[in-house]
Structures are given as C-alpha cells and as structure tokens.
C-alpha cells in the first residue's frame, strides 16, 4: 500500500480522491478565496503530474478540459498522483479578465514571494504547494480575446529530450519551440527540474469543443506515455483516423496588416501557406480599393485574428515553420540574438 499524499495539511490515502482548498486571501468584502486542488492518489506507484488552467482568468477551455478529465478518471485506475487545478487565477476568472485586480499578469510573477503582491503570493503558493510536488505538468491556455489558436503544444523540445517525448505523445498537430519569459511558470518550473508543456487551443472567453476534445485526448496520451494510465490487457493503442506525426516548429512570426480597413480571408488555422501567397485582403470601407496581405514565410497557420476590423500593424496570422525552412535572414537574426542572450522565435505577445 502506498503512503498517503499530503497537501495543505490534508492526507489523501492511496486509491482516494479529494479536493483540497489552499487558502489564498480574502476579497475586499472578506469573502475567502482559495486555490482548490483536485487530488487523485492512485493505488499503484508512479509519477506525480499536475494539470492547471486559467492562470489567465479569461482562458476558459482549460477549465472544461480538466472537468472532463476528472469525470473520466478514478484513483483506482491510475498509477502515481494527479493534481488538477482548474482555476489558478480565481480573481481573473471571476472578473473575466486575463489579469489580477492590480493588472498584474500571474504568468509573469513566478516564482513569486510569500510577502509580495497578490500575484506574487498566488504564484508562490501554486509553485510550492502544487508544481514542486510533481515531475512534470501540463498548463492549459487559449489565445487572447479576438484571436484563435490551433491546438498546439509549446515546450523546450530542442533542449529537453523528455519535453520532446511528452510533446510528441500529446498528439497535437503542431509542437512549437517557445522561448520562456522571465516570471513565467515554465521557467520557474524548469529551474526546479520540472518539465512543463503549455497547451494552446481556441480563444479567450469562448468554449471551443474541438480544442477541448484535443486537450482531453492529449492529457490521456501523456498519462499513457508516462505509465500513469494503462490500457486493458490485449488492447493496443489506436491512433485516430488520419493521425499524423506532429510538426515540430522552432520559428514563428505574425503576418501583420500593412493598412487599416476591413479584413477578409478564406484561410483558417491549420492551413499551410507559401511564402508570398495572398492570405487575405484589407479593404477601404469607403472606396473600391483593397490591399493584399501576403504571407512572409512558408509554414502552417497556428493562430489568427477573429476581428474583421483592423488597423495598420495589427496581427492577422501567426505562421510557424521548422528550422530547415528558415531563410538566410532568419538564421542571421537568430545568430545575432543568440549572441545577445535571446532568440526571436516568435512575437513577444505570443510568448507564454
């Protein structure tokens, strides 16, 4: 029999599940705010994994993904321990906002501090009480409001063999090598030896069933890969119809509007595009004139705007591609940035 798993002073025996409320703070009207952690402590030994969502309070697909995962799992069916936190940023979730009440971004506040700002205290609690108890984890995100992302994994697969293995096991269409921002959960976790996959799919403040189902399947795939789940005897894993190996991409850029106006396109997330290909037009709402929008690189569309009204410089399509397709200029830019201690692999507003 395995030993009990203890968190927040609560002991969960092997084969049991429990929701543990970790105290965070109080609202201004003294309503308590907690960080609920759903613990499934399996009968059999195995790794400890966390799944988290709503670090950005307006990114809702992950909340539903975790709800569906918990509905299908029982502690007796898993090896190891699964820690699920459907809503990390309760303040943003209640206010339908990416941020905390003081406009701080929780995913720029790690590793946090027990005596700092509200964001720092919440980051410190989540990192130390949940993340540091695990060997790896999956953090669920969506695109920002008015943008939509293709279901994808972002990780350090070029630097970590385990990240690459888990990223491939997840089964998303695209795996994107993504720089780590200072203050991000991924960086703080990696510095403690914990690999974290970031799942991106759908749009903020919207449920996207396709992205939700892909997230549920991906979590199950990772648990199968790591031995936390087992198929019944005699049952072999069957990939979905038309399943393909993921595209591993390590470069991405936004195609931006060269003029303001009304944006029209027939391109969708997941479409492949060629360098110089027309991917849309921006029309003058008052005159019969329009400006073509062309892709600057060959790659796959992993994100796009959902707004038809655009200003000059607005991000329209997020295109990702792999290293062997990089141009000479791309390689020169990357080399220069590496000498300066950073890599321009994607626009800053897309770095999780």
Supply the pLDDT for residue 245. Answer: 85
Over pLDDT 70: what percentage of the chain? 88
Residue 335, pLDDT above cutoff 50: no
Supply the pLDDT for residue 231. Answer: 73
With respect to residue 241, please indicate whether it lies within any of the assigned structural domains.
no
User: Which CATH number fits the domain that encloses residue 36?
Assistant: 3.40.630.10
With respect to residue 120, please indicate whether it lies within any of the assigned structural domains.
yes
Mean pLDDT, residues 308-317: 97
Preceding amide of 111 cis, omega within 30: yes
With respect to residue 230, please indicate whether it lies within any of the assigned structural domains.
no
Mean pLDDT, residues 160-182: 95
Supply the pLDDT for residue 243. Answer: 66
Asked whether residue 143 falls in the same domain as residue 196, the answer is yes
Structural domain harbouring 296: 253-350
Asked whether residue 157 falls in the same domain as residue 71, the answer is yes
Residue 275, pLDDT above cutoff 70: yes
With respect to residue 231, please indicate whether it lies within any of the assigned structural domains.
no
Number of other residues whose CB lies within 10 A of the CB of residue 111 = 19
With respect to residue 110, please indicate whether it lies within any of the assigned structural domains.
yes
With respect to residue 72, please indicate whether it lies within any of the assigned structural domains.
yes
Asked whether residue 130 falls in the same domain as residue 258, the answer is no
């Amino acid at each position: 029999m395995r030993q009990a798993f203890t968190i927040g002073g609560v002991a969960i025996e092997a084969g049991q599940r429990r929701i543990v409320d970790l105290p965070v703070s109080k609202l201004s009207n003294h309503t308590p705010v907690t960080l609920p952690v759903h613990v499934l402590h399996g009968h059999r030994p195995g790794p400890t994994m966390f799944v988290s969502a709503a670090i950005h309070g307006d990114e809702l697909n992950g909340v539903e993904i975790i709800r569906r995962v918990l509905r299908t799992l029982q502690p007796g069916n898993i090896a190891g321990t699964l820690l699920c936190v459907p809503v990390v940023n309760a303040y943003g979730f209640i206010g339908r906002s990416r941020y905390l009440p003081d406009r701080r971004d929780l995913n720029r506040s790690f590793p946090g501090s027990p005596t700092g700002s509200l964001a720092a205290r919440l980051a410190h609690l989540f990192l130390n009480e949940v993340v540091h108890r695990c060997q790896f984890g999956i953090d669920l995100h969506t695109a920002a409001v008015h943008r939509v992302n293709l279901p994808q994994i972002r990780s350090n697969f070029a630097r970590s063999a385990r990240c690459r293995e888990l990223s491939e096991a997840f089964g998303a269409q695209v795996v994107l090598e993504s720089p780590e921002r200072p203050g991000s959960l991924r960086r703080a976790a990696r510095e403690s030896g914990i690999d974290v996959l970031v799942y991106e799919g759908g749009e903020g403040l919207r449920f996207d069933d396709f992205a939700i189902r892909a997230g549920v399947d991906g979590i199950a795939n990772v648990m199968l890969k790591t031995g936390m789940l087992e198929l019944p005897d005699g049952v072999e894993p069957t990939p979905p119809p038309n399943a393909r190996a993921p595209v591993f991409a390590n470069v991405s850029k936004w195609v931006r509007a060269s003029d303001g106006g009304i944006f029209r396109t027939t391109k969708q997330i997941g479409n492949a595009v060629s360098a110089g290909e027309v991917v849309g037009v921006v029309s003058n709402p008052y005159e019969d004139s329009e400006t073509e929008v062309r892709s600057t690189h060959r790659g796959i569309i992993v994100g796009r705007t959902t707004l038809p009204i655009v200003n000059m410089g607005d991000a329209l399509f997020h295109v990702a591609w792999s290293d062997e397709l990089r141009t000479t200029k791309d390689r020169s830019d990357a080399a220069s940035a590496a000498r300066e201690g950073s890599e321009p692999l994607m626009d800053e507003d897309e770095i999780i």
